[in-house]
Structure 1
Amino acid sequence: MRKSSIYAVTLLLGGMATAQQPGRMVTYVQAEKAVLGQDKIVRKSIGHTEAVRHVTVRSGVEGRLVKVHFQEGAHVKEGDLLLEIDPLRYVAAVEEAEAAIAQLDAQITYATGRFNRLNALAAQQAASREDMETAKATLEELKARKAGANAELARAAKDLADCKIYAEISGRIGRLPKGEGNYITRGEAITTIAQMDPIYVRFPLSQNDVNGIFRGPKEIGHVTNVQLVTANGRNYPGKGRITIVDNQLSGSTDSYTLWAEFENPGKLLTHRGIGALYVSLNTMREVCMVPLTAIHYDTSGAFVYVIDAENKVSRRNVTAGTVQGRLQSVYEGIEPGEIVISDGSHKTRPGATVHPVFADAGLNEPGSAQGGELAPVEVDAATVQEMTDPTVLTIETARLEAINTVELRPLVQGVLQERNFTEGERVQKGAELFHIDPTRYQATVDAGKAAVEQLDVKINDARTKYERQQKLLEVNASSKDDLENARATLNELQAARDAAQARLAVAQDDLDRCVVKAPLGGRIGRTLVSKGNYVTDIKTPLARVVQLSPIYARFPLSEKDILSIYGSSDKLEQQAELTLVTATGEEIAEKGRVAFCDNEIQPGTGTQNVWAVFENADRSLAPGGVVSVRVHRKAEFPVLGVPAEAVLTDSRGKYVYVVKHNRALVRRIICGSAAEDGRVSVFTGLLPGEQVITSHLADMEENTPVQVK
């Protein structure tokens, strides 16, 4: 269709909706015939993003969490050190196991020499066979004990290694509910990591489509033309490819579940998000096509207005397909050659008579344009410029959370003797809070020190004897057997001392645990176990300490809002600023920032949990409270703006007309709120310096000639 003809018809229709003819009023509408066109085979499905790998981080040992090496919500790499559990007792276990092996090595060395000597003497009839067999049995027993000791050392070494927890995959790490100072049990879930790049989109496709159009599960597995439309209605950059087809049908829907893989370097897609998938083959087929403007939508679906041979209008429900330039495929409801209204349908109704005007044929009415293109429409235009984004997202149900809450647990048994704080007061890190009866643990430490001292005495004596045996052997005044025995005794005692020292370290740790100290500064709560009670269960906390400054405010944001306004959760973290309003309506002067976003979308609500951090220097905000937060973009991150009157809306969303080579071109946009000066923030779709039309918008359509005043 010629652009000049389209414009001529549009101008006429806009200027004369009806014309007086003898006996009746005539309504002019622009019309076109449905034509055959080439259409790709496309199937649409609603899908959900899934991390290719999703790992729950767990502890392989139990103990106090002493160090956190990551920021919540950060992107971590495989092999990164994440957490450290107090290794003291596990170091002692390794040292004790090593000492046990050293003792056995000393005994084996002596037993080996003794067996070899007795074996040689027995062969010469100089020693009894019974003595030789006894020596052999002793040696074999020691070797078996060493095998067990080696296994114990391997177990202890694994426990010690597990005190450091590393990232098993690369991805975004989640919230850490238990921070430094908390006691972590073996196997306890600590946090999660969701792989972000690449990412899967899981979606269903009917058995008929898979086996018919796509020629079966094996063939559809080779499809590489998968387009994703994200929750904010924008096409995702880059195409996906189908990598997995489930090995069974869903019984309730008779459909296959498929997984398409997308590269996600910008982290736009988040685990458990939603989107629309368009799966297509490269083959084409002939279908009926009509102008995009001829298709309308209501609660019943898509429909067109058809003009019959008597120029009467009827409504026809259709199945709309893909858009090919200015035309759209229609799979059902209309045949090629039928006439549809492409412009002016608002001036008529089903059953009415109209006068169809075909743009290619021109108009044979008085005053109509004959040949050539009419003069361009003079329009007002505004330049796209940067502005401070006025868009504000208000969340009324944000919840305050302590960044860290530590449960003070009894790690030893005994009578709770003292409580050195007032319930509800603020305590400093390292403050002594509880005292558990240390009597038995002090006794164990004293006994351990005595054992080490005794072994020191024995070692000195054994070393003296060994050195004496060396000198005697040099003058043949002693036997080699006596020397080996002295060496074995010395080595065994030294190993025994190492083991005793390791046990003493554990005993000292138990004694230190009798004094329960504050692992962080914060407010301590109610005492959960009273003075005088005998504490035995590590699962029962004595009290809780909550960090008050800084403090989190947790709230949900829809995936659509995050993608539309900020582009990704990473950009939300960088660009957003927050204002907090308390339950009493007081606005806090201090501004907050987004600390991190969760690594998954909540499937039931389509929202992503966001944690904002506020300094809370005066400690006026308390964990558990409900507040309102207003999320807005920082001033140093401007957006583009256009006058509000330039923004139009149709069934597909917001759009403007931009001026390009003296033509009006439709540009789809995603926009936010209007500022006090009447400008609307635009997040995507425009470039700085472009001109948007602000007047005569009713006369505009794609490619209308224009002249900016």
Structure 2
Amino acid sequence: MVFKRKLVISSAISLAVIAGVGAMYHTYGGTPVTEAAAAAAPPAADVDVATVVSRSITDYQEYSGRIEAINDVQIRPLVSGTIVAVHFQDGAMVRKGDPLFTIDPRPYQAEVDRAAAQLASAESRSGYAASDWERAQRLLSDNAIAKRDYDEAQNANREAIAAVKAAKAAVEAAQINLGYTAIAAPVSGRVSRALLTVGNVVSTGANAPVLTTLVSMSPIYASFDVDERTYLRFLSHDSKVTVPTWIGLANETGYSRQGVIDSVDNRLDTGSGTIRVRARFDNADGVLVPGLYVRARVGGGAPHPAVLVSDAAIQTDQEKKFVLLVDKEDKVQYREVKLGDQQRGLRVITGGLQPGERIVVNGMQRVRPGDPVKPNLVQMSGDAAAATGAS
């Protein structure tokens, strides 16, 4: 009887367990799970993912620079005197040879007249000395003159010739100084304001004042410092003019002007690890002025395919760079990547990613490798080509 009672109780417990499992099986759609397993499964986190950008690119580097004039001239007086005229408007465009200032020319015209008179006197004395020497030569051949008198006539003629040369030089110097009273533009370009106006007395020498400044406008330079790698890759050979160069202004998102490398400095700055580069650009519209900030882009080589991602999606693990990849099963994977240069707001990935793969771009702090996610597909941040519709 005891054995039969135990058997009945055991059978009842077994039936109860089977009934409970059946209920769980029915509740979860035919898949048997335990409460512990259900509690251990992490919920899928909502994250923003973007497909890596794939496009054909040309390698280039971006730098900051300033516009510089090819000719930057300080206009100073070369003769002393009083300014009697200013011939330009402040900020006007002038051509080479256009008058800028006039210094009172009367004292210098008088000096030219005086030097010309002295020249006429010297030429007269030279003519008389030449005739006297010719006469002495004839007399010497007939032994009708002393050798001493002949030598004196010859010496007087030579002195007269030298006096004529000195008088001519004095006339030339006086004419040069007279020409300096009319100050003209040495180059074509844009003139600044007149720092000294009519009535001011100016002097020459070390204390000569600056009357105004003049800068050439077209062509014009853009100067910037490039890193050592860019120099070795693009600029260390002789054909620097073939390296494409672009600049963009502060109010532009792109690069509106193309130019050529004009010169590269003769040494690398060891403090900054950069070398000074100067590029030449046309400036027919006069928009570029010296001192203007520009973004410069230097590049070269043939276009080649590349994958690009936003810098915000790249994480650092000690010395490694990685991204969080979302696979076909919407699970997170750790993917180490190798970085290249920046291209139009995105970072070139030289290794670790393939075209079409998805990476987490927002919500990375909420997930770890192996976690399931609910991906929300967005555009890659910083993709200037997609934003503008460019390829």
Provide TM-score, normalisation by structure 1.
Answer: 0.42
- 2:187 equivalent to 1:166: no
- 8 Å Cα contact 1:59-1:186 kept in structure 2: yes
Match of 2:374 in 1: 355
Q: Which of residues 133, 142, 145 in structure 2 aligns to 1:124?
A: 142
Match of 1:335 in 2: 353
1:161 is paired with a residue whose SS is helix
Q: Relative to 1, partners in 2 of residues 1:210 and 1:220: Cα closer, same or farther, differing over 3 Å?
A: farther
Deviation per CA, 1:357-394, whole angstroms, max 9, x where unpaired?
679xxxxxxxxxxxxxxxxxxxxxxxxxxxxxxxxxxx
Match of 2:57 in 1: 39
- Give 1:191-230 correspondences, 5 Å limit: 191-211=212-232, 213-214=233-234, 217-219=236-238, 221-230=240-249
Paired residue type of 1:174:
S
Q: Relative to 1, partners in 2 of residues 1:340 and 1:88: Cα closer, same or farther, differing over 3 Å?
A: same
Q: Relative to 1, partners in 2 of residues 1:349 and 1:329: Cα closer, same or farther, differing over 3 Å?
A: closer
Paired residue type of 1:281:
G
Measured in 1, the distance between the counterparts of 2:341 and 2:366 equals 23
Measured in 1, the distance between the counterparts of 2:101 and 2:219 equals 26
Deviation per CA, 1:98-120, whole angstroms, max 9, x where unpaired?
10111111222222223323432
- 8 Å Cα contact 1:230-1:275 kept in structure 2: yes
1:59 is paired with a residue whose SS is coil
- 8 Å Cα contact 1:210-1:220 kept in structure 2: no
Measured in 2, the distance between the counterparts of 1:183 and 1:60 equals 13
2:218 is paired with a residue whose SS is coil
Deviation per CA, 1:117-173, whole angstroms, max 9, x where unpaired?
343234334444443333332222222222222222222121111111121111111
Measured in 2, the distance between the counterparts of 1:320 and 1:118 equals 91
Deviation per CA, 1:209-242, whole angstroms, max 9, x where unpaired?
222x32x512561334111121224435331111
Measured in 2, the distance between the counterparts of 1:89 and 1:25 equals 98
1:235 is paired with a residue whose SS is coil
Match of 1:237 in 2: 256
Match of 2:31 in 1: none
Match of 2:269 in 1: 250
When the two chains are superposed, the root-mean-square deviation of aligned CA atoms in Å is 3.7
Deviation per CA, 1:454-496, whole angstroms, max 9, x where unpaired?
xxxxxxxxxxxxxxxxxxxxxxxxxxxxxxxxxxxxxxxxxxx
Measured in 1, the distance between the counterparts of 2:286 and 2:203 equals 33
Q: Relative to 1, partners in 2 of residues 1:92 and 1:70: Cα closer, same or farther, differing over 3 Å?
A: same
Paired residue type of 1:198:
P
Q: Relative to 1, partners in 2 of residues 1:315 and 1:228: Cα closer, same or farther, differing over 3 Å?
A: farther
- 2:172 equivalent to 1:154: yes
Paired residue type of 1:351:
R
Q: Relative to 1, partners in 2 of residues 1:315 and 1:133: Cα closer, same or farther, differing over 3 Å?
A: same
Q: Which has the higher strand share?
A: 1
Paired residue type of 1:68:
V
- Give 1:443-462 correspondences, 5 Å limit: none
In structure 1, runs of 5+ residues without a counterpart are 1-22, 360-649, 654-664, 668-701, 704-709
Deviation per CA, 1:308-329, whole angstroms, max 9, x where unpaired?
6653599999777224xxx945
Per the TM alignment, residue 35 of structure 1 is displaced from its structure 2 partner at its CA by: 5.8
Paired residue type of 1:244:
S
Measured in 2, the distance between the counterparts of 1:246 and 1:221 equals 12
- 8 Å Cα contact 1:313-1:354 kept in structure 2: no
2:284 is paired with a residue whose SS is coil
Deviation per CA, 1:645-679, whole angstroms, max 9, x where unpaired?
xxxxx9899xxxxxxxxxxx967xxxxxxxxxxxx
Q: Which of residues 44, 59, 76 in structure 1 aligns to 2:77?
A: 59
Provide TM-score, normalisation by structure 2.
Answer: 0.72
Match of 1:659 in 2: none
Measured in 2, the distance between the counterparts of 1:220 and 1:304 equals 39
Considering only CA atoms, is the larger Rg found in Structure 1 or Structure 2? 2
Deviation per CA, 1:36-85, whole angstroms, max 9, x where unpaired?
54321111111121111211212211111111111121111112121111
Q: Which of residues 79, 93, 97 in structure 1 aligns to 2:115?
A: 97
Paired residue type of 2:119:
I
- 8 Å Cα contact 1:296-1:304 kept in structure 2: no
Match of 1:425 in 2: none
Measured in 1, the distance between the counterparts of 2:257 and 2:330 equals 49
- 8 Å Cα contact 1:51-1:271 kept in structure 2: yes
Task: Show structure 1 runs of 4+ deviating over 6 A.
Answer: 23-30, 313-320, 650-653
Q: Which of residues 71, 80, 84 in structure 1 aligns to 2:89?
A: 71
Measured in 2, the distance between the counterparts of 1:358 and 1:58 equals 66
- 2:290 equivalent to 1:275: no
Instruction: Give % identity.
Output: 25
Paired residue type of 1:191:
T
Deviation per CA, 1:9-44, whole angstroms, max 9, x where unpaired?
xxxxxxxxxxxxxx9987776744436543211111
Measured in 1, the distance between the counterparts of 2:142 and 2:180 equals 55
Paired residue type of 2:365:
P
Q: Relative to 1, partners in 2 of residues 1:79 and 1:185: Cα closer, same or farther, differing over 3 Å?
A: same
Paired residue type of 2:107:
R
Per chain length, whose mean CA-contact separation is higher, i.e. which structure has more relative contact order (CA < 8 Å, sep 6+)?
2
Per the TM alignment, residue 287 of structure 1 is displaced from its structure 2 partner at its CA by: 2.7
- 2:281 equivalent to 1:262: yes
